[in-house]
Amino acid sequence: MSSSSPRVPLPSGFPEGASLPAVVIELGERFAAAGRELSLVGGPVRDLFIGRDSGDLDFTTDADPDAIEAIGAGWADAVWDVGRRFGTIGFQKDGWQLEVTTYRAEQYDPTSRKPQVAFGDSLDDDLVRRDFTVNAMALRLPAMELVDPHGGVRDLAAGLLHTPGTPEDSFSDDPLRMMRAARFAAQLGLQVADEVEAAMTDMAERIDIISAERVREELVKLICGADPRRGLDLLVRTGLAERILPELPALQLETDERHRHKDVYAHSLTVMEQAIAQEERYSPHSPDVVLRLAALLHDIGKPATRRFEKGGAVSFRHHEVVGAKLVRKRLRALKFDNETIKAVTRLVELHMRFYGYGDAGWTDSAVRRYVHDAGPVLDRLHALTRSDVTTRNRRKANRLAHAYDDLERRIAEISEAEELAAVRPDLDGEQIMGLLGIRPGPLVGRAYRHLLEWRLDEGPHDQDVAEAELRRWWAEQPESRKD
């Protein structure tokens, strides 16, 4: 998308200051000259009315894919046709991505994950097949005439999410639309209409036919929305979460012994909201899906580890270890990439580490291990740990905040002196093999790990001191006494 390309203001009837990239009008003029219809459709039209900058420019037309491609030839900077069998041809022009799709009359096999595509011949037929009324609006080009047969502008003004036809028909066409409803609730702050929520509840099991990849993409968009709590609550209420992220609704049954005023589900949503507020300070980018997922799922090990103690107390010992395993399994099932899985799992595993040191203070060794174990997610761990304080006891909250302030100061001081982010043993593998006279293999790894633990405990050493420690360790190993 190019922010510097020329824009064309919209006529009266649209919000003041609303405009479109000039390439949109140019493309409309080309289609009109060829005797074809073209309309901007869906999200880009919706976003004109809410002052939101849309990154996608989607169009619909009565032209078939061959005709679409011919009209754009010689005008577009680039053309791609990977969506041809679905009726879509893509253009790039002046830095903008434009996708043009033949009018659709989609039909879905109720037992299939993939749509059976049928091309339509009218804009009205195309719009009635769309997911929600707020996305079933079009702007005829180049005249810039609004087409809104299902009251999308009205629903936007009322903050409601309706479907053009019955929600049952819409969700039968594509069950992923149920998750999309939750996503729009999170992104746009829309209230799902009662009949839409009822259909989501009745048809929740239909989400099972949708591929894990499509579910994951909608979940990520929801979590990265402005108000993910609203969307997640909707998934839980309708039973959709039970089918795609069952660990989340399971938290409603638990009581957190450190936050007696909230169940773990409410606590987890609050931690996520507080983590979002920490993104500007600690995250490499915002929205940060890794941090948000970790905050949402950090306590999912509690149901499996709940124990009732004498005196009525409830404990969740090692819930972070169990939770990390559950997170890894769930994110793999949702086909997340390995880097995201590793980062979220590590954060869940370490989110209680700060509390393990109590009020006794942090030794240099403990600080080094904290930094080393967190590795590249250290800043996110800061954000998660701070966000995990939801107590109403202000004295306790302030004490924990000051304690973490102190830990961060210690990390900064020791990092400056010892380059903690890149901590390594004082001897490398080549030096270990040379000093001990051994060949590459597991024994070198054991020696290396010993020197690393020693380095974390005591800090950096001169080479001669490190060599003396290696010899001392070696003398205790059974391999050193072999003939």
Confidence of residue 261 (pLDDT cuts 50, 70, 90): very low
Same domain, residue pair 220 and 172: yes
> Do 276 and 391 belong together in one domain?
yes
Note whether 366 and 469 are same-domain residues: no
Instruction: Give the separation between CA 40 and CA 98, rounded to whole angstroms.
Output: 10
Is the per-residue pLDDT at 256 higher than 90?
no
State the average pLDDT for the chain. 88
- More confidently predicted of 4 and 232: 232
pLDDT at 113 over 60: no
Are residues 327 and 297 in contact, defined by beta-carbon separation less than 8 angstroms? yes
| Residue 281 and residue 221 in one domain | no
| Angle, vertex CA 409, rays to CA 405 and CA 415, nearest 5 | 145
pLDDT tens, position by position, 209-223: 999 999 999 999 999
The total number of structural domains in the chain stands at 4
**Boundary-marking domain end, from 153, 174, 191:** 153
CATH number, residue 231: 1.10.110.30
* Domain extent at residue 206: 159-244
Q: Are residues 174 and 142 in the same domain?
A: no
CA torsion angle 136 139 145 149 (round to 10): -10
Residues with Cβ within 8 Å of residue 89, at least 6 apart in sequence:
65, 68, 69, 72, 79, 80, 81, 83, 99, 100
On whether both 366 and 261 belong to a single domain, the answer is yes
Q: Which of 134, 153, 172 is the last residue of a domain?
A: 153
Same domain, residue pair 438 and 418? no
Name the least confident of 10-14, 126-130, 160-164: 10-14
223 shares a domain with 112: no
pTM, two decimal places:
0.83
- Check whether 276 has a pLDDT greater than 90: yes
Q: What is the CATH number of the domain that holds 77?
A: 3.30.460.10
Residues 120 and 191 in one domain: no
Interatomic CA distance for residues 45 and 287, integer angstroms: 24
Q: 325 and 207 in one domain? A: no
Q: Which distant-in-sequence residues (6+ apart) come within 8 Å of 238 by Cβ?
A: 178, 197, 200, 201, 204
* End position of a domain, from candidates 377, 406, 422: 422
pLDDT by residue (tens digit) across 41-56?
999 999 999 888 777 8
Same-domain pairing of 240 and 275: no
The mean pLDDT of 325-337, rounded to a whole number, is 98
pLDDT value at residue 82 = 84
On the question of pLDDT at 164 being above 50, the answer is yes
Question: Which range is most confident: 94-98, 195-199, 309-313, 399-403?
Answer: 195-199
In terms of domains, do 148 and 164 share one?
Answer: no
| From 96-100, 243-247, 263-267, 309-313, the region with the lowest mean pLDDT | 309-313
Residues 6+ apart with CB under 8 A from 125: 103, 105
